């Protein structure tokens, strides 16, 4: 099945200007749902882009309608540029991913109302979340890399203060 065909299994619904991405078929956990489109790669994020590398933010076509959830049902794998089912998904479900799994520092932070027991409340990017929270989620390599760098910098600064 080509990625274009697979894209046809997704539909965008709009209600009061609020967009959602809904699947027209069921998926098994781990199944690739579609390729991630990459259009117009830029250095700075905006409210529609997905971060795919340290200084790489891309528009993702139809996938821009994906909303955030702290209990997501899909993963955006920026290494292989695919969207994958994080658990079994039923036909007609809205698809969500965990924004900090791709975003280090978001252009337009917001308050999350997902209602999950593990809700992070403020969605602003991975750099603002404690490790204990991030550890529970799938994280893309660029996020892991920047997280380690931040920790190392913090440790170095602490050493400077102590010496
Ligand atoms: Zn939430």
Q: State pLDDT tens for residues 2-29.
A: 444 457 899 999 998 899 999 999 999 9
The reported pTM is 0.91
Max Cα-Cα span within the chain: 61
Alpha carbon distance 140, 101 (integer Å): 6
End-to-end alpha carbon distance in the chain: 60
C-alpha 120 – ligand 1 centre gap (Å): 5
Q: State pLDDT tens for residues 64-110.
A: 999 999 999 999 999 999 999 999 999 999 999 999 999 999 999 99
| Mean pLDDT, the chain, integer | 93
C-alpha 153 – ligand 1 centre gap (Å): 29
Alpha carbon distance 31, 112 (integer Å): 27
| Alpha helices (runs of H) in the chain, residue ranges in sequence order | 3-7, 131-134, 141-162
């Amino acid at each position: 099945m080509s990625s274009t065909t697979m894209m046809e299994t997704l539909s965008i619904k709009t209600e009061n200007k609020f967009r959602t991405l809904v699947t027209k078929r069921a998926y098994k956990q781990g199944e690739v749902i579609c390729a991630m489109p990459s259009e117009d790669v830029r250095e700075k994020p905006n409210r529609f882009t997905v971060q795919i590398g340290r200084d790489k933010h891309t528009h993702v076509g139809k996938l821009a309608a994906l909303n955030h959830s702290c209990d997501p049902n899909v993963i955006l794998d920026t290494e292989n540029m695919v969207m994958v089912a994080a658990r079994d998904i039923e036909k007609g479900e809205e698809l969500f991913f965990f924004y900090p799994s791709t975003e280090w520092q978001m252009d337009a932070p917001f308050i999350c109302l997902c209602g999950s027991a593990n809700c992070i409340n403020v969605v602003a990017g991975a750099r603002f979340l404690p490790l204990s929270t991030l550890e529970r989620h799938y994280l893309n390599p660029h996020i892991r890399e920047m997280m380690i760098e931040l920790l190392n910098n913090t440790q170095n600064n602490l050493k400077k203060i102590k010496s």
